[in-house]
Chains A and B, each alone.
Chain A
């Protein structure tokens, strides 16, 4: 055996377990002169790395492969090691290969070739892979696992390129998906509400073509043509997807009916690809180097899969249909809404298909390497393509960060990715980020407000990781814009968030080159206590009461005593409103030192507030007090109101009413302050509901366990009881009384446990019902308030239903902030000489 080792591999020792192995397997892939190709170092590194690492790292320029990036060499090295380990770890290799193909989908061409090479020696192994893939795809289709469906179709292409499955198998799978898609759109046989699923199936077919189109075209041109004709006719009958509500920029071509939706766009890219002879630069084709060997491999049959039948609804109610459409959209959301940030010569310096492929790579790395910082950044910067793509990468990441209604991951994930990319590509990426920020800033007046908020949060956080360095002087002119100008608000809110992450003086210093912007800094945070004792000021009744309350708190008087004092002495003499004023101001002051101080005070003395503010009217007053006390700190105002809602001192409805009160509506366009409070309220209400859902799910599981335990205990008890013996003509239990008592005890205890869980389940369900009701009420009030605010301000819709052109004569939109004259014309009186708020 050992004599078969290529002589140029120095440290190669065949492990003992390979002794039983067929010698031919230790040879390089048939037909290659491996020894002459391998550099000694690469081989040596590979020997020590282990087959798992080699599979993971294949295609990467890394030490495991001696730093070389030659794809052919990688496959040969890896195949060689796999062969050596094959007999010993066949099953592990099998499982791991499948896992790698699904979780490192940008390396599918490599895994395809490896399986193709193994297929030459071990047909059963490859057949097993094919069958397992079929089962996985079948499962994914029925469990509606989108990513898996998409990636497995790509994997099929990889297997086909290496002759492991025949082109016809793929065509057959495509046709299954296509016919299922067509059925869904059929009014009678299907259910057009589920078009998102149909679109998704066709999308998956199209998305796999960059990996297999050229081979299909070579080997089964007529069948491929048939599939493409089928897709063409699907595209012609499907409904154009209009999603202007989800566009980041309001005046994007979004309104134009000619704008292509994501399906039409992908279809056009693939048509172009077919016209270009299926040439894709961005997909590695390692199988071409092994064509001579692979061609003799046995192709296995990929058994047909079935798609889940269309979901039917009997109802003809439009509302239910709408709900169903919504559900379908949630289940099959659009993966990417392309955001065009840069001039086309930057991000579009490649073929349309290559843009699509690189986007797929990026989105998959973000998906599978969430939580693995190092690998995520590594793979993002070393995609297997020969052209530069940092602009496209930035566009793709920003379009995820700003994806409406929600990004796939928390925005902070993209913050981290951008930070890591700036560190991984210090010469290239930071400047791209800067350019992106400038481009987005230029169009910010048309940006959706939710996106603007995400951008503010991202940007401030990003800068906090890079010493807050930014060329602010370039934006110094926003100080001259009206207070509501989106660019000005953006700068002001970024500064506000920077201060929250850092501290006032530091941020003030960071803008010293743009001193004009100092006027946009928030006031230095600090409390604003109405009853602050000051020698120079005369002491009022309020000061006196406040002082007394402080001494009661210091003296550790109980909450009950304080409530009595308030109810019997303060309210009768001064009225409730005054009592709310003094008590809330004083308690806020006692808890003003930190977040912990605040919650400690609210936990200890919250009841005093809740006694004073039992209804919405008083709660509105309470929020006025919070806002007045913390007028210099937006953060503390938001936190205090949020905590008060947490302790149910304020209802979510009261918060919405307060946010929509005239004083706050005036802030809507000049500050994020009311929005932050509103956002907190909505998410807190929603979080309550989703927490309860989770708890109920857990309780359901444990109730099952408890039921089983109880049944078992009772059965045991009954069995013990049923063993009888006849004593003096009477049936008497023959079991020892002690054991019976013990069993009875167990049974009782198990039953008790079951009842306890059942009770807490009921309680949680009642809470959930209440939570859902609260959520519904909240949304209703929220929408109504928006409608009211807008109808008060918008010109009415004409009698024949024409919506007025709101944009007409708005200079700030047609010339976004670039025309200072237009902007100054708009300066309203609140933006007078003094800009201090």
Chain B
């Protein structure tokens, strides 16, 4: 409707590098797609929570949770498939930027789900953004994977109680860095040159800016595994193949 303020050709700022086609084909796929990508979810958010929220934009055909390659547990993203294009558009228009499980989620058109896309593409199994993230995000497994490794390495080196406080997050300089939760755009362009210890020190508490009530709570035993902040466990998806050949039967609703 409001064509004056909107660039209709700009459907998504994100370009999936694994899309097998040209930019034009990618855009055409986005324009016709009935699938939306949902990002910045908590690892603890369930399909049913997503169902409750996303069904308010239209009848849902399918939900495919993004899973950690190794653990087969949710890793903070999902695809929602609708039956109609208008519903997918409404999901992008009305849900992106709103809260799900106390986190601002992002909703984008997606070019279409294919087997394999449910897995995290990060080295450690989850999403790439969770490799290099330096903030503390209890909804997404605490610190980023690289910071976690660094912290563990430090813990092995430093005598407990002398140089390193294990029950509080390390002191970081707050001034730096605006990067945050974001986005799949972050992929890969993080300054890898930065040395690992330096990075650990830079892991800021920037997270608290958006999750003020989720201050990092670290205990000596949970450095790399933050406490479950809810009475819920991950669902294992090992038994379900998301798009197994068998599931191609009757799609009628």
Contacts and interface: CB of A to CB of B under 8 A. Distances in A.
A342 interface: no
A413 B244 contact: no
Contacts of A410: 56-57, 90, 94
Given A505-B231, A635-B52, A647-B252, A683 B4 contact: no
Contact of B48 (A56, A461, A594, A603): A594
B239 to A, nearest CB: 7
A503 B139 CA distance: 14
A370 B98 contact: no
Nearest to B74: A594
A196 B214 CA distance: 55
B160 interface: no
B52 A595 contact: no
Given A600-B247, A635-B48, A503 B232 contact: yes
A298 interface: no
B23 interface: no
Contact of A691 (B84, B94, B239): B84
A596 B64 contact: yes
A354 B192 CA distance: 60
Contact of B97 (A373, A412, A415, A688): A373
Interface stretch (A96-104, A324-332, A529-537, A757-765): A96-104
A501 B237 CA distance: 21
Interface string B168-212: 000000000000000000000000000000000000000000000
Contacts of B217: none
B9 interface: no
Interface string B124-146: 00000000000000000000000
A103 B97 CA distance: 25
A370 B253 contact: no
A688 B65 CA distance: 26
Contact of B51 (A595, A597, A648): A595
A636 B48 contact: yes
A596 B63 contact: yes
Contacts of A684: 59, 253
A464 interface: yes
Contacts of B56: 410-412, 415, 457, 461
A372 interface: yes
B158 interface: no
Contacts of A503: 49, 230-232
B157 interface: no
Interface string A471-505: 00000000000000000000000000100111111
Interface string B62-83: 1111000000000000000001
Contacts of A461: 53, 56
Contacts of A604: 246-247, 249
A646 B64 contact: no
Residue among B48, B53, B65, B97 facing the most chain A CB atoms (10 A cut-off): B48
A691 to B, nearest CB: 6
Contacts, number: 138
Among A100, A467, A501: residue with most chain B CB under 10 A: A501
A756 interface: no
Contacts of B215: none
Nearest to B56: A412
Interface in A448-475: 457, 461, 464-465, 467
A500 B240 contact: no
B20 to A, nearest CB: 25
Contacts of A373: 97
Contact of A412 (B62, B95, B102): B95
B1 A371 contact: yes
B4 A100 contact: yes
A419 interface: yes
B166 interface: no
A103 B4 contact: yes
A350 interface: no
Interface in A669-686: 683-684
A464 B46 contact: no
Contacts of A562: none
A593 interface: yes
- Max chain A C-beta neighbours (<10 A), residue from B4, B64, B241: B4
B4 A104 contact: yes
Contacts of A375: 2, 5
Contact of B94 (A368, A416, A596, A600): A416
B253 A594 contact: no
Given A413-B94, A465-B98, A603-B247, A103 B51 contact: no
Interface in A591-649: 593-597, 599-600, 603-604, 606, 635-636, 639, 645-648
A356 interface: no
B2 A369 contact: yes
A56 B4 CA distance: 8
Contacts of B93: 370-371, 413
Contacts of B242: 596
Contact of A369 (B1, B46, B97, B101): B1
Contacts of B51: 595, 635, 639
Nearest to B4: A103
B22 interface: no
A506 interface: yes
A596 B240 contact: yes
Nearest to B236: A593
B150 interface: no
A465 B100 CA distance: 8
A515 B56 CA distance: 30
A335 B221 CA distance: 61
A619 to B, nearest CB: 17
> A369, A411, A502, A606 — which one has the most chain B CB atoms within 10 A of its CB?
A502
B3 A501 contact: no
B2 A371 contact: yes
B253 A99 contact: no
A439 interface: no
A416 B98 contact: yes
A368 B1 contact: yes
Given A410-B57, A412-B95, A467-B213, A691 B63 contact: no
B18 interface: no
Nearest to A600: B240
- Give the residue among B97, B249, B253 with the most A Cβ atoms within 10 A: B253
Contacts of B252: 646-648
Nearest to A461: B56
A503 B49 CA distance: 8
A354 B23 CA distance: 50
A506 B2 CA distance: 39
B99 A464 contact: yes
A593 B231 contact: no
Nearest to A688: B253
A374 B176 CA distance: 28
Interface string A639-664: 10000011110000000000000000
A288 interface: no
A687 interface: yes
Given A372-B2, A505-B231, A412 B90 contact: yes
A68 B90 CA distance: 36
A370 B97 contact: no
Contact of A103 (B3, B47, B64): B3
B1 A367 contact: yes
B10 interface: no
Contact of B46 (A370, A371, A594, A606): A594
B235 interface: yes
Nearest to B247: A603
10 contacts: A497-B52, A500-B52, A502-B102, A505-B231, A506-B230, A593-B235, A594-B46, A646-B252, A647-B250, A684-B59
The 10 closest A-B pairs by CB, nearest first: A646-B253, A500-B52, A595-B47, A594-B47, A465-B99, A412-B56, A371-B93, A412-B94, A372-B2, A603-B247
Given A636-B48, A646-B252, A694-B84, 10 more contacts: A367-B1, A369-B5, A370-B1, A412-B56, A412-B95, A413-B90, A461-B53, A465-B99, A594-B65, A687-B253
